[in-house]
Structure 1
Amino acid sequence: MTDHVQPSRPGSDGTATAAGDGESVYRPHHYTARRPPEAGGEPAGTLTLPAVQSVLDGLPGSVTFLLPVFDADGEVTDFHIAAASPDALDIGARRGKELIGLSVAGTYPTVVGSPLWEGYLGALKTGVRWEGEPFEYEEVLAGIPRLSRFAVRASASLGGLVVSWVRLDSGEREQRRLAVMQRLGGMGWADWDLVRNTITWSDETYTIFDRDRAAGPMTLEELTAYVLPEDLPELSAAVERLLGSCRPVDHTFRLTTAGGEVRHMRVVAEAESDVHGHPVEVHGFFQDLTATKRAQAQLLESQQAALAHRSQLTAERDVAERLQHALLPLTHQSLTLAGLTVDVAYHPLQEGLNVGGDWYSAIKLPDGSALLVIGDVAGHGLDAVATMAQLRFTAKGMAITGMPLPAILTRLNTLLLHTAERSFSTATMIMAHYDPATSKLTWVQAGHPPPLLLRRGGAEYLTPPAGILLGAVPAPRYEAASMHLRPGDQLLLYTDGLIEKPREDLDTSLARLAGAAVRSAADRGGLDGILNALVDPVTRRDDVCALHVSLRSPAAPGPAVSASAVS
């Protein structure tokens, strides 16, 4: 008895329902095929979709089972994929059971009305197996058109169609993929049949060797004629190992192309042997490494240049450090200077190869007064240290002659603008003159952070007199300001490295310094207390230089060491 399924028609819920006495129902994931009932009894057999799927699970290739969908007039309007073999694959890369439930007309709209569609309808109507001519099918997926070539067979069974698809262009696709991979990797394959003495090259191999395809592949003798003489012995030894003992080779060499270009090549090959162990075929590939070798050579050259530059910078730093240490002698004890107690601190930045231009001076002048100076030259390295030395000693010399402080800054500005051997540079600076007879402090500034005065447990910044940084403009105006120090007062001069902090504005930085200074004064921590609170050796990005000046109270003990100057 032949299995039979009645045609299905659309039901009210959108599924296909049976028409006639037999039973055939299509719903997503639900289908029952029955043989026609025998007279006076129940159906003789039942075939369900799981059973159909079980059959397809054991079939090779791309096979699907389609159920027709009819309209009210009994015309087929669509097919649904009810079961699929594991290897079933559509042009959208859906595979196996991912296809189940898809509408043929909805998923592949260009099929409707095509010879393929007519073949489906004919096979369903007549029951005669249909085999179509190979055809091309294009589908647009993610905006990209894809064209494939197929051969299709369709056979009516169980009220539906068993359809097999055979993709005919898979080999062509693999060839295209292989060609793209060879081109992108600069590789080309080669085969050598030792029995017939024939050599086959891929198209990319001709490109690698810059060889006309009409000339055919190179023989081994031809190849050796192009190899650089110094590379030939090792290449010959590798070929002997390959042909003599069938040992694989992976070897690099250089050759000169027909156009005269020297190229770096890599050959990877293995031999197939007969039952006696004699090689009969060689398979391998050539790879053009010229671009890689050139990049490696350029990288090596850059590394060598960087090492040479670093050595030069290291030597420059060593010289700058020696000069800096000679110019800025440090004392580890407090100094007495014109009745003032002076503490100095200098912490150069140890990161990188640069040495900064921060400096200070604290000297006793011929009339018994004191000169206090702190400054910061922009930049780093030998130029900054040399500029610092010029400014420091010139300022000291002019101050000893009794020149007014504003005039000294004016001349230093001129010096910085007209020093021919220097590159463009600027500097900030504070100069202060202290007269012990009157306790009067007179000071000038050139774009430098303001001094901090600590008095009676509080802190305030002195209002800066007019003055722009040195080396900025030809005719700046510098003015002096004055105040009287009182017993117990402390005055802090510093460079910006003490207060700078990443992503912090200047007002916040100054407030942070004032708070640390007040706490240090209360704890009698002095300059060390301030530095410990503010200087982070990990995060700081500049040199730190500071002068801490205090006028002792009458009852306060004197410093441990008495000295005339730090200069």
Structure 2
Amino acid sequence: MPSHVSADRPAAQPPGRGSVEALIAQTRRLKGDVDAVRRDTRGDGADPEERWQRALYDLALHQLDDLDGHLAQLRDGPAPLPAEPDPAAVPPSPSGSGSLLSRVGSAEWNLLTDEASWSAELYRILGRDPSAAALTLDELPSLVLDEDRPRLTTMVTGCLVDAKPIDGEFRVVRPDGGVRTVHMMGEPVLGGDGSTASMWAVVRDVSEVRRSQRTVHETRDSLQRHRQRVRTEQQFAVELQEAVLPPGRGALRLPRRGPGSLEIAARCLPSGSSALLGGDWYDALELPDGDTLLSVGDLTGHGVAVTSGMAMLLGAVRGMAMAGAPPAHLMSLLNQLLDATVQPALGSAVCCRYRPATRVLTWAQAGHPAPLLYSGGTGCVLSAPDGVLLGATSGAGYGQAEVTLEPGDLLLLYTDGLVPGHSGSLDALLGLAPRFGAARTAQDCVTAVVEEFGECERTDEACVLIAKVGE
């Protein structure tokens, strides 16, 4: 029944059938595009951002489904109600299923005769037998959840007593126990004496839309918590890395006095894509007997756990070197340490022990790029002794090599990822020999490396350490 409010207004002209068809076609094309993108989006993984995006796509599809159905109803006009509904022909639809038209129903309550009239769609929404009598306004609250009944009572009272339009939501319990959220819009119809004679309403099942909206809100909150946790972990990892790694700015001379000492400079280059720090390290340490320890390494993975593992490994390297362990034995002990950890991990490393009195460098490696030696304006790769990744196998043996350095020689130790892509990476590094030959200090050499490779789109962070032999 039309509302009395619009009885004295001229009827609006309906849109042409062709224009509605065009809108329907556009809506369905958009639905297809959104659904295609939605299928390519994983929403069931551990990433809260992916779940949030999937929920938004689901919500958009619900809204487009509704729009499609409304436009189809506008094009076709109201469907006639059957004179005698057949319960077998119109079974209640299961929760969450059915087209748009099965989720929009209507009702009218005659206050003078206490009669109620429901559309077949409303029976479907409420899950009731279409052959049963429609519930009166006094009986309607029996379908509503206890906590929502005051809301329905307030809306109906305002409509009947104050002639206010109805516009609100409440939850109903179906006979099968399912709970549906419905949105009711309606108005009073006044009699000739100005009193309310009847009330009509349109009832729409918005359960799926509200469920999608809740999913969007929940995943958005989850995403915000995830991002906050990532930021906290990132800050902790940065502080931990800064606490355990030597300062990367300026040069260091080890040992601090005497001939044949090393001028050392280092830098850690960040990843271009990873949000979390990894397990790369560099180190230079003067040992009790006057030797100098040089080491670089990389523990696989990213995040606080890996950075903590790197700090543990670096502490072990320093402790064992201070105790006098030669590089090969040191690698064996590190391998045992990683093998015994609760959470398995893999790492690579190079450890060098330099004796300034003889300028002899003794070194060992565990699955790591060998140091590069620059001398007389050219560069070469040191021949690597045997050594597998740390943590890869129990009881692994490690070889050891020696090389005698000359005054002015320069050593470059680095972690994998300094030069993105393995093809040509050594050539690129060895090609720095002329620039290193022209550089006055080790810090100038590190600056040359940063200028050459610092802006590369690397997928992992990298460390570089340069040691220059003094006179």
* Same topology, TM > 0.5: yes
1:378 paired with 2:293, answer: no
Q: CA deviation at 1:458?
A: 2.5
Any conservation in 2 of the 1:440–1:482 contact (CA below 8 Å)?
Answer: yes
In structure 2, the CA distance between the partners of 1:508 and 1:350, relative to structure 1 (3 Å rule), is closer
Of 263, 286, 295, the match for 2:203: 286
Any conservation in 2 of the 1:513–1:534 contact (CA below 8 Å)?
Answer: no
In structure 2, the CA distance between the partners of 1:416 and 1:528, relative to structure 1 (3 Å rule), is same
SS in 2 for 1:184: coil
In structure 2, the CA distance between the partners of 1:404 and 1:229, relative to structure 1 (3 Å rule), is closer
Larger strand proportion of the pair:
1
1:221 paired with 2:141, answer: no
Alignment size in residue pairs: 376
Cα deviations by residue, 1:392-414 (Å, 9 ceiling, x for unpaired): 22222322333332121111111
1:483 paired with 2:414, answer: no
In structure 2, the CA distance between the partners of 1:243 and 1:335, relative to structure 1 (3 Å rule), is same
1:495 paired with 2:415, answer: yes
1:468 paired with 2:388, answer: yes
- Read off the aligned partner of 1:387 and give its amino acid letter: G
- Aligned mates of 2:177, 2:323 — CA distance in 1: 77
Aligned twin of 1:92? none
- Residues 362-511 of structure 1 aligned to structure 2 (within 5 Å): 362-419=284-341, 422-500=342-420, 504=421, 506-511=422-427
Of 248, 262, 265, the match for 2:182: 265
In structure 2, the CA distance between the partners of 1:392 and 1:370, relative to structure 1 (3 Å rule), is same
- Aligned mates of 1:175, 1:527 — CA distance in 2: 83
Q: CA deviation at 1:516?
A: 4.6
Aligned twin of 1:344? 266
Q: CA deviation at 1:172?
A: 11
> Of the two structures, which has the highest relative contact order with CA contacts closer than 8 Å and spacing of 6 or more?
2
Aligned twin of 1:47? none
- Read off the aligned partner of 2:448 and give its amino acid letter: G
Cα deviations by residue, 1:438-497 (Å, 9 ceiling, x for unpaired): 222222111112222222333322232211110001132321222222232221111123
Aligned twin of 1:184? 99
In structure 2, the CA distance between the partners of 1:364 and 1:196, relative to structure 1 (3 Å rule), is same
- Aligned mates of 2:184, 2:77 — CA distance in 1: 26
SS in 2 for 1:497: coil
Aligned twin of 1:550? 468
Q: CA deviation at 1:250?
A: 2.4
Aligned twin of 1:514? 430
- Aligned mates of 2:198, 2:103 — CA distance in 1: 20
Q: CA deviation at 1:307?
A: 4.3
Any conservation in 2 of the 1:188–1:203 contact (CA below 8 Å)?
Answer: no
- Read off the aligned partner of 1:324 and give its amino acid letter: Q
- Aligned mates of 1:283, 1:183 — CA distance in 2: 24
Cα deviations by residue, 1:58-81 (Å, 9 ceiling, x for unpaired): xxxxxxxxxxxxxxxxxxxxxxxx
Percentage of pairs with the same residue: 33
Any conservation in 1 of the 2:272–2:460 contact (CA below 8 Å)?
Answer: no
Aligned twin of 1:94? none
- Read off the aligned partner of 2:316 and give its amino acid letter: T
In structure 2, the CA distance between the partners of 1:396 and 1:191, relative to structure 1 (3 Å rule), is closer
Q: TM-score, normalised by structure 2?
A: 0.70
Q: RMSD over aligned Cα, in angstroms?
A: 3.4
Any conservation in 1 of the 2:103–2:124 contact (CA below 8 Å)?
Answer: no
SS in 1 for 2:138: helix
Any conservation in 1 of the 2:246–2:284 contact (CA below 8 Å)?
Answer: no
Structure 1 unaligned regions, length at least 5: 1-86, 88-169, 555-567
Any conservation in 1 of the 2:295–2:350 contact (CA below 8 Å)?
Answer: yes
Q: CA deviation at 1:347?
A: 4.0
Q: CA deviation at 1:375?
A: 0.8
SS in 2 for 1:496: coil
- Read off the aligned partner of 2:340 and give its amino acid letter: H
Of 435, 440, 459, the match for 1:541: 459
- Aligned mates of 1:248, 1:276 — CA distance in 2: 19
Any conservation in 2 of the 1:520–1:530 contact (CA below 8 Å)?
Answer: no
- Aligned mates of 1:471, 1:400 — CA distance in 2: 22
- Residues 186-265 of structure 1 aligned to structure 2 (within 5 Å): 187-192=103-108, 194=110, 198-244=115-161, 247-265=164-182
Q: CA deviation at 1:298?
A: 4.3
SS in 1 for 2:99: helix
Larger helix proportion of the pair:
2
Q: CA deviation at 1:426?
A: 0.7
- Aligned mates of 1:266, 1:231 — CA distance in 2: 12
